[in-house]
Amino acid sequence: MTEEPTYGSQKGATPARSSQTLIGRILYRMFWVLVFIPVKLLFRLRVEGRHNLPDGPFVLSASHRSFIDTPVVGVITSKRLRFMGKESLWNSKPLGAFLTIMGGFPVERDVVDRTALRAAADVLILGEPLVMFPEGTRREGPRLRREDLRDGPAFVAARVGVPIVPVGLGGTPKALPLGKSLPRPAKVVAVIGEPIMPPSKVNGRVPRGAVTELSDRLFEVLSDLYIEARILAGDEEPPADSDL
């Protein structure tokens, strides 16, 4: 029996859309509500700039300071956002089914870098929005650092030709600090910025320098959004001349 290719598989063509059945759509909405309610009540979630989310596929790139960033990002829109997950998580059928319903998809671990980027591109080509944290892992501190931002989101967005939507998250480190396992009540704010359009291709390819420039632009915009979200969440005082 021929095995169906997973997202980003180095064998075979891009897999067909992981369309949801009616039951899948109902379950997704149920689980989405179950996540949204505690996020809204416990963290008093405030979302600014929701109108900046495009109708088609895009790469959503958010600042990353806490484990709760993923569920917070997941409920800022009613659209099903896609997330990459370790292939081993799908070894458990119940867990794998839940992750799939919630928009997760497995990535092979033996060639993780190449496979992850191809998998991300596959999802976007299929018309689905994708979440990629440009810092790669959780970071600490009140400011973003350019050396922490990876080129993955810019590379994938440029390769497929979709915009990057930057999102600054404020208050999440207070809601679930590093080293803590239980969240606490705190004000969380998500500020969604305007889409950053990808560069044009040259002879069908995106120049390496254009990817770096796109990452630089993402860093500049995301840094400002992160500061704005921190101020709105009460993590820092606004500048004297600020309207926030």
For the chain, domains (ranges, CATH) are: 22-232 (3.40.1130.10)
Query: Is the full-model pTM beyond 0.95?
Result: no
pLDDT of residue 27: 86
**Beta strands, E only, the chain:** 46-48, 59-62, 83-86, 104-107, 130-131, 164-170, 189-192
pLDDT of residue 61: 97
pLDDT of residue 1: 43
pLDDT, one tens digit per residue, over 31-61 is 899 999 999 999 999 999 999 999 999 999 9
**186 with 38: CB under 8 angstroms?**
no
**155 with 211: CB under 8 angstroms?**
yes
Structure tokens at 93: 């059928």
Rounded to the nearest 5 degrees, what angle is found at the Cα of 33, between the Cα atoms of 45 and 133? 55
Averaged over 148-169, what is the pLDDT?
94
> What is the spatial distance between Cα 183 and Cα 243, in angstroms, rounded to a whole number?
31
**54 with 193: CB under 8 angstroms?**
no
Task: Give the Cβ contact number of residue 25 at 10 Å.
Answer: 13
pLDDT, one tens digit per residue, over 177-231 is 888 888 999 999 999 999 999 998 877 788 889 999 999 999 999 999 999 999 9
pLDDT of 117 over the 60 cut: yes
Amino acid at position 75, single letter: V
Band (pLDDT 50/70/90 cuts) for residue 113 is low
pLDDT of 82 over the 70 cut: yes
The residue to which tokens 């960033």 are assigned: 69
